[in-house]
Amino acid sequence: MKSKKVNLAVLVSGSGSNLVALIDAVKSGVIADGQISLVVSNKEDVYALQRAENAGVKAISIKRSGFSSDEEFDKKLVEKLREYKIELVLLAGYMRILTAPVLEAYRDRILNIHPSLLPEFGGLGMYGMRVHEAVIKAGVPVSGCTVHIVNEHVDGGPILAQAEVSILPGDTPASLAAKILREEHRLYPSTVQKFITGFDI
């Protein structure tokens, strides 16, 4: 155990099931060395925000439409992250591509979970259900999820951990998504804890 907990922010855009897994992991001690200090959504009416509030976690939304460019939006994001003294940013179903202001402010301090075995089925346009549709269409026998460090290359940063899921005859994009989500909920918290164990704070 560290003497001081690492301040985590979770960035969301949708249902927030990974957010709940992270919140639960902090409570249960799976993430023993971190605390979730802020949840940021780029959309106002998402279940993830509700779930954060239900858990008593500070949650805000910042809408892209209020800014002249993606970079200006991300500067605001960095301002908020700094205000809450965030040390590690966790993308959990965050459906925006990060730009230079945030990538530079949090170099090697942003993690993402992606619902495929990267480098397969990643990159621009590959997110959410689209990933599972492409996987089923390709007819591969195995898929899974990947936790990686975020850099300038979409879904291309260093891989920290992966979990595999078998694809069975009759699996659909929806059934595959559900199976992989269950693995995501295990893999992300344990990987976050391992990652912050290496922090020098």
Pick between residue 20 and residue 62 the one whose CB is nearest to ligand GAR.
20
Question: What is the distance between the alpha carbons of residues 108 and 61, in angstroms, rounded to a whole number?
Answer: 24
Q: How far is the CB of 16 from ligand GAR (least distance, A)?
A: 5
* The token pair that represents 6 in the structure block: 């690492």
Question: What is the distance between the alpha carbons of residues 188 and 163, in angstroms, rounded to a whole number?
Answer: 10
Q: How far is the CB of 85 from ligand GAR (least distance, A)?
A: 24
Q: Where along the sequence are the contacts to ligand GAR (CB under 6 A)?
A: 14-18, 48, 92-93, 113-115, 127-128, 131, 181, 184
Question: What is the distance between the alpha carbons of residues 36 and 115, in angstroms, rounded to a whole number?
Answer: 22
Active site residues: 114
Q: How far is the CB of 15 from ligand GAR (least distance, A)?
A: 4
22 alpha-carbon distance from chain centroid: 10
Q: How is 16-46 classified by DSSP, letter by letter?
A: -HHHHHHHHHHHHTSSTTEEEEEEEESSSS-
Q: How far is the CB of 90 from ligand GAR (least distance, A)?
A: 11
Pick between residue 140 and residue 199 the one whose CB is nearest to ligand GAR.
140
Contacts of 85 (CB under 8 A, 6+ apart): 7, 37
| Residue from 46, 48, 63, 67 nearest 9 by CA | 48
Pick between residue 15 and residue 151 the one whose CB is nearest to ligand GAR.
15
* The token pair that represents 42 in the structure block: 């780029």
Pick between residue 13 and residue 193 the one whose CB is nearest to ligand GAR.
13
